[in-house]
């Protein structure tokens, strides 16, 4: 479900007009997020760390309205709920795109996510289907081999792309605590650094919660 935004009275109308007119309207921020407790919980309970932090990431994204805005044919809509289109790796080190629906209950989320991931792992190519072109998603990738401090994305510069991209990297120890880098790449006409800060805070809190 989505709501059409009246741009003429929207508080971000000038921001949207300005940044939408740029060749590159996206901006990106990377921050280290603490994950010691989440990692230990998943290890102790034999839970997929990837699915745990993806679920918590989506829960946090859905708390931030600015990260649920999307551009559609020069209009702005606000989605009620956001899901994921994730890159899923295979044993041969290729990957495919995998739509994963958000569900508040972690067990239900894992059940359908594992089925979707299995289809990608047992196939070839990008698996780029019509389902992968939905707007009510974030584009999500995990890079558990790299503790990155910056990232760029391959994408069209045609004004049609407005879905945030979220990437999570390798866990490393800093000052006695495990952290992982989290990169958010978002359309500046829809969301500012403050809203990404809100997401980082919400994600940090979500990682402390247990299913």
Specify the length of the chain in residues. 211
Rounded mean pLDDT of the chain? 96
Structure token digits, residue 85 = 């289109």
Angle between helices 36-44 and 193-208 (to 10 degrees): 40
Say how many C-beta atoms besides its own lie within 10 A of residue 161's C-beta: 17
Max Cα-Cα span within the chain: 52
In sequence order, what DSSP letters do the residues of 173-205 get, joined into one string?
Answer: EETTEEEEEEEEEEETTT--HHHHHHHHHHHHH
Average pLDDT (76-103) is 97
> Rounded to two decimals, what is the model's pTM?
0.96
pLDDT in tens, 171-200: 999 999 999 999 999 999 999 999 999 999
pLDDT in tens, 157-176: 777 899 999 999 999 999 99
pLDDT in tens, 23-68: 999 999 999 999 999 999 999 999 999 999 999 999 999 999 999 9
Give the contacts of 58 (CB within 8 A, at least 6 positions apart).
82, 83, 84, 102, 138
What are the start-end ranges of the H helices in the chain? 13-20, 36-44, 49-61, 106-121, 193-208
């Amino acid at each position: 479900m989505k709501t059409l935004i009246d741009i003429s009275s929207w508080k971000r109308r000038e921001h949207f007009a300005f940044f939408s007119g740029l060749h590159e309207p996206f901006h990106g921020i990377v921050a280290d997020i603490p994950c010691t407790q989440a990692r230990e919980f998943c290890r102790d309970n034999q839970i997929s760390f990837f699915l745990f932090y993806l679920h918590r990431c989506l829960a946090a994204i859905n708390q931030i309205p600015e990260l649920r805005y999307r551009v559609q044919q020069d209009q702005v809509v606000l989605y009620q709920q956001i899901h994921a289109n994730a890159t899923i790796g295979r044993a041969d080190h290729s990957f495919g795109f995998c739509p994963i629906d958000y569900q508040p209950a972690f067990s239900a989320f894992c059940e359908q996510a594992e089925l979707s991931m299995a289809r990608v792992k047992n196939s070839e190519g990008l698996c780029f289907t019509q389902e992968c072109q939905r707007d009510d998603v974030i584009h999500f990738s995990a890079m558990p081999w790299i503790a990155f401090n910056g990232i760029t994305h391959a994408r069209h510069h045609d004004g049609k792309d407005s879905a945030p991209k979220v990437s999570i990297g390798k866990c490393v120890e800093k000052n006695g605590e495990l952290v992982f880098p989290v990169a958010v790449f978002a359309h500046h006409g829809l969301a500012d650094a403050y809203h990404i800060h809100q997401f980082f805070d919400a994600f940090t809190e979500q990682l402390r919660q247990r299913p």
